[in-house]
C-alpha cells in the first residue's frame, strides 16, 4: 500500500537577488512586488533546496515517487545532482520516479522559473504571474505493482457515469504499472457498498442511481480501486464521483438531469493578499463558503487549473464548473505544444470531477494575436483533443469585446461566451441588451454565455452621483443591478459568470488608488469586506433570508435628504429612522427610501426577523477620502 510524506518544511530559498533564506511551503516568492503595481515586478528564476532522509521502503518490491502539485511556471528538478524531471506549466501536478537515485541523505533542488518567454503559457494576461512552489510536495512510496503514477499527473483511474433511463452505466478504467488484478468497490454516501467488479476496463450497471443534482443535491459516490496480486493488495486509489447528465439548448439554456437549470455564478482567481498563490486549504474553504453564501450555482475557474482540493469542494457543493487552461490574450506559435500538454493534464487530472461540464480552450485570445491562421488551427487541434480525450463534456472559450460575433474563433467550440464590459470600459449599459439580441438573431442555434462582466468598485470610494469610471461602490452596484435585470430579459443564455468573485492582483494595472490590483471583485482581496454588490447577488440568488443597507461606508453626507437603498431576498422591508418607522415596502431585491438627515441619523432595515443598521451623518463639506485620487481616474483595460 502507498504511503505519503509531505516535504513542506526546512527549505532554503535563493531568489533572483542571490540572497538565501529559510522558507516553508507553500511559498510564492514575488507575492509582495507582484501586487504593488508596475510592469517591472520580479519575474525570473529562483532556487528551492531541501534535504531529506531516505524513506523506509523495500527496494525489491517498492518504488519512491516525487510529486509536485504546482510549481509556477516551469520547474527543473534534480535529486543528488541528477535531473529527474522538467515540467512546463505552473498549475498542474507532475511526478518523477526517484527510486534509483536515493541515498541515505538526499538533496532535492528545484529551479522554479516564471521568466518571460514565448513557449509557456501564460505570458500576457490581466493577472499577476507569481513564481514559486505554491502547492504541496510529497514523497510517495508505492509497490512496484501500482496504479499508474506516470500518466499526465493523473490518479490513474477514470470513472465515466452514463445515465440510461432509471439506471446508469459506471465505466471504470484503470492504468496499471506492474502486475495484478483490478478490484472495484463503489460505495454510496452512507458508506454502503452498492457495486463491485473486476478488470482494468469494466462497466458496472447501477440501478436507480442517486443523481448529482447541483446545489440542490450534490450527491457523491465513492469508488475504490485496488490492485491485487496473489491475494495481497498492492495499491489502492479512492475517487469520488457523481452520476448526472447535462445538455445545453441555444434557445433554453443549460439543463441538468433533464431539467432546466439556469447557470448563474462567478469567476474565481486563487490568489490572496500578501500570499499570492500560496494559500491554505482553510482559505479554499473560505472562498467556497462565500460563493455559497452568495447563492451561485456555477464557478468559472479562471484562467488556469486550480487546486484539486477546490474542485473537490465544487463537487461537494454542487457547483457547475467551467475549467480552463491559461491559453490567454496572445497566441504564441512556439507555445502550441504547451497548450496541448496543459490541456491534456487538465482533462486527465480532473476527469472524475462531477462538477466540471466544459473544458475552456482559450480566453480573449484575439487581443494581440498576429498569426491568425496558426491560432485558428491550434484551436481546432485543442477542440478535437478535448473531444477525443473526453467525449462526455462540452468545449467552450471566452471571447472579448473587440472579437466580433462573426470571428471564426467564436465558432469552433461547442459553446461560446463573451467577456463584455459594456457600461464600464465603454458607455452604455443598454449595449449589453443590443449585443446579446444581435448575436442571437445572427446565430439562433449557437449557445451564448457571458463569461465576464463587471465594474471596478472600491469600498472606500463613494458618490451621491455615481458614474462610469469613478470606481465607487455605488456605481459598481448600479452596474450589476442593470446586468441582473438584463440577464432576466435573456433567459436563453447558457451561463453567466461575474468577473470577479474576489479582487485579485493584476500587476499591470494602476487604478482605483491602489496599484497592481483589479477591483472588480464582489469581495475584497483579503476576503474581509463584502461589497454592496455581493449583497445584490445574494438578494437575487440566495434563499437564506437577509437584509442589507447599502452605502453604509458612505457615512458622511452633505445633502439634507438621501436615498437609502436596501437589498433583500424578502418580499417586504420596513425602514426605521432613529427608532421610528418611516415606511414599509413590498417588492423584490431592491428597495429605496428617502431619508432626511439632521446631524447623526440611525437607520434600521427590517425584513422579517432580520435587521441591518447604519448611521449617516450630515456634514457641511464632502469627505475627500470618498473620491478617487486625482490622476488615478484611468478606467481603460489593462492592455
DSSP 534-587: HHHHHHHH--S--EEETTTT--EE-SSEEEEEEEESSSEEEEEETTEEEEEEE-
Integer Cα distance of 633 and 392 in angstroms: 47
Contact 89, 72 (CB under 8 A): no
Q: What's the sign of the alpha-carbon dihedral 224, 229, 231, 233? A: negative
**Coil vs helix vs strand at 294:** helix
364 is catalytic: yes
554 class by beta-carbon count within 10 Å (0-12 exposed, 13-18 middle, 19+ buried): buried
Best CA proximity match to 189, nearest among 160, 155, 226, 217: 217
CB 255 within 8 Å of CB 263: no
Catalytic residue among 364, 452, 473, 481: 364
What is the 3-state composition of the chain as percent helix, strand, coil, each rounded to the nearest 5? Answer: 20, 40, 45
**Maximum alpha-carbon separation in the chain:** 87
Can you give 28-91 as a three-state secondary structure string? CCCCCHHHCCCCCCCCCEEEEEEEEECCCCCCCCEEEEEEECCEECEEEEEECCEEEEEEECCC
Q: Which CA distances in Å does 463 have to 144, 473, 623?
A: 67, 8, 10
**Can you tell me the distance from the alpha carbon of 426 to that of 433, in angstroms, rounded to the nearest whole number?**
14
By DSSP bridging, strand 62-68 and strand 137-143 are: antiparallel
Report the side by side order of strands in the sheet with 181-187: 193-198, 181-187, 221-229, 232-241
26: preceding bond cis by omega (within 30 degrees): yes
Distance of alpha carbon 514 from alpha carbon 36, whole angstroms: 8
Please report how many Cα atoms fall inside a 13 Å half-sphere around the Cα of residue 277, on the Cβ side.
Answer: 26
Q: Is 114 helix (H, G, I), strand (E, B) or coil?
A: coil
Cα–Cα distance, 162 to 243 (Å, whole number): 7
The catalytic site residues sit at 364
Amino acid at each position: 500500500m502507498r504511503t505519503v510524506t509531505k516535504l513542506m518544511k526546512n527549505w532554503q530559498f535563493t531568489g533572483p537577488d542571490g540572497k538565501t533564506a529559510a522558507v516553508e511551503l507553500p511559498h510564492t516568492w514575488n507575492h509582495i512586488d507582484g501586487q504593488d503595481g508596475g510592469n517591472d515586478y520580479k519575474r525570473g528564476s529562483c532556487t528551492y533546496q531541501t534535504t531529506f532522509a531516505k524513506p523506509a521502503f523495500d527496494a525489491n518490491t517498492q518504488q519512491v515517487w516525487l510529486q509536485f502539485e504546482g510549481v509556477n511556471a516551469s520547474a527543473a528538478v534534480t535529486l543528488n545532482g541528477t535531473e529527474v524531471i522538467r515540467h512546463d506549466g505552473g498549475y498542474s501536478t507532475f511526478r518523477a520516479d526517484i527510486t534509483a537515485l536515493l541515498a541515505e541523505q538526499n538533496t532535492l533542488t528545484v529551479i522554479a522559473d516564471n521568466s518571460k518567454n514565448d513557449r509557456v503559457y501564460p505570458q500576457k494576461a490581466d493577472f499577476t504571474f507569481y513564481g514559486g512552489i505554491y502547492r504541496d510536495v510529497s514523497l510517495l512510496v508505492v509497490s512496484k505493482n501500482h496504479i499508474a503514477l506516470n500518466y499526465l499527473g493523473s490518479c490513474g483511474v477514470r470513472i465515466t457515469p452514463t445515465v440510461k433511463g432509471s439506471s446508469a452505466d459506471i465505466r471504470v478504467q484503470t492504468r496499471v504499472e506492474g502486475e495484478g488484478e483490478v478490484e472495484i468497490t463503489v460505495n454510496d454516501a452512507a458508506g454502503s457498498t452498492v457495486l463491485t467488479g473486476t478488470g482494468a476496463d469494466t462497466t458496472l450497471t447501477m440501478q436507480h442511481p442517486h443523481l448529482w443534482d447541483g446545489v440542490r443535491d450534490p450527491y457523491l459516490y465513492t469508488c475504490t480501486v485496488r490492485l491485487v496480486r496473489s491475494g495481497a493488495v498492492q495499491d489502492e486509489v479512492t475517487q469520488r464521483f457523481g452520476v448526472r447528465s447535462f445538455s445545453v439548448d441555444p434557445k433554453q439554456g443549460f439543463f441538468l438531469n433533464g431539467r432546466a437549470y439556469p447557470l448563474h455564478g462567478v469567476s474565481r482567481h486563487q490568489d490572496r493578499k500578501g500570499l499570492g498563490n500560496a494559500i491554505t486549504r482553510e482559505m479554499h474553504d473560505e472562498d467556497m463558503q462565500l460563493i455559497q453564501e452568495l447563492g451561485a450555482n456555477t464557478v468559472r475557474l479562471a484562467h488556469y487549473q486550480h487546486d484539486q482540493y477546490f474542485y473537490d469542494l465544487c463537487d461537494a457543493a454542487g457547483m457547475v464548473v467551467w475549467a480552463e487552461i491559461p491559453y490567454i490574450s496572445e497566441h504564441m506559435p512556439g507555445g502550441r505544444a504547451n497548450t496541448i500538454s496543459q490541456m491534456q493534464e487538465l482533462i486527465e487530472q480532473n476527469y472524475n470531477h462531477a462538477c466540471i461540464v466544459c473544458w475552456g480552450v482559450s480566453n480573449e485570445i484575439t487581443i494581440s494575436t498576429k498569426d491568425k491562421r496558426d491560432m485558428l488551427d491550434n484551436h481546432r487541434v485543442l477542440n478535437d483533443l478535448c473531444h477525443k480525450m473526453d467525449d462526455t463534456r462540452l468545449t467552450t472559450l471566452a471571447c472579448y469585446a473587440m472579437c466580433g460575433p462573426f470571428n471564426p474563433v467564436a465558432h469552433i467550440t461547442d459553446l461560446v461566451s463573451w467577456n463584455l464590459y459594456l457600461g464600464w470600459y465603454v458607455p452604455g449599459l443598454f449595449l449589453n441588451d443590443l449585443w446579446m439580441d444581435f448575436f442571437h438573431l445572427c446565430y439562433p442555434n449557437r449557445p451564448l454565455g457571458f463569461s465576464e462582466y463587471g465594474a471596478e468598485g472600491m469600498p472606500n470610494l463613494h458618490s451621491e452621483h455615481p458614474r462610469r469610471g469613478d470606481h465607487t461602490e455605488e456605481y459598481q452596484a448600479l452596474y450589476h443591478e442593470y446586468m441582473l435585470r438584463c440577464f432576466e430579459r435573456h433567459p436563453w443564455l447558457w451561463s453567466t459568470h461575474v468577473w470577479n468573485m474576489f479582487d485579485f492582483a493584476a500587476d499591470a494595472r494602476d487604478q482605483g488608488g491602489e496599484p497592481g490590483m483589479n477591483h472588480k471583485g464582489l469581495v475584497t482581496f483579503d476576503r474581509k469586506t463584502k461589497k454592496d454588490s455581493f449583497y445584490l447577488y445574494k438578494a437575487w440568488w440566495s434563499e437564506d433570508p437577509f437584509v442589507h443597507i447599502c452605502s453604509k461606508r458612505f457615512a458622511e453626507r452633505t445633502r439634507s435628504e438621501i436615498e437609502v437603498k436596501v437589498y433583500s431576498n424578502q418580499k417586504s422591508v420596513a425602514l426605521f429612522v432613529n427608532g421610528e418607522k418611516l415606511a414599509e415596502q413590498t417588492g423584490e431585491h431592491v428597495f429605496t427610501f428617502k431619508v432626511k438627515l439632521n446631524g447623526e441619523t440611525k437607520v434600521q432595515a427590517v425584513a422579517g426577523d432580520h435587521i441591518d443598521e447604519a448611521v449617516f451623518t450630515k456634514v457641511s463639506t464632502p469627505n475627500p477620502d470618498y473620491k478617487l485620487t486625482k490622476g488615478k481616474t484611468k478606467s481603460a483595460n489593462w492592455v
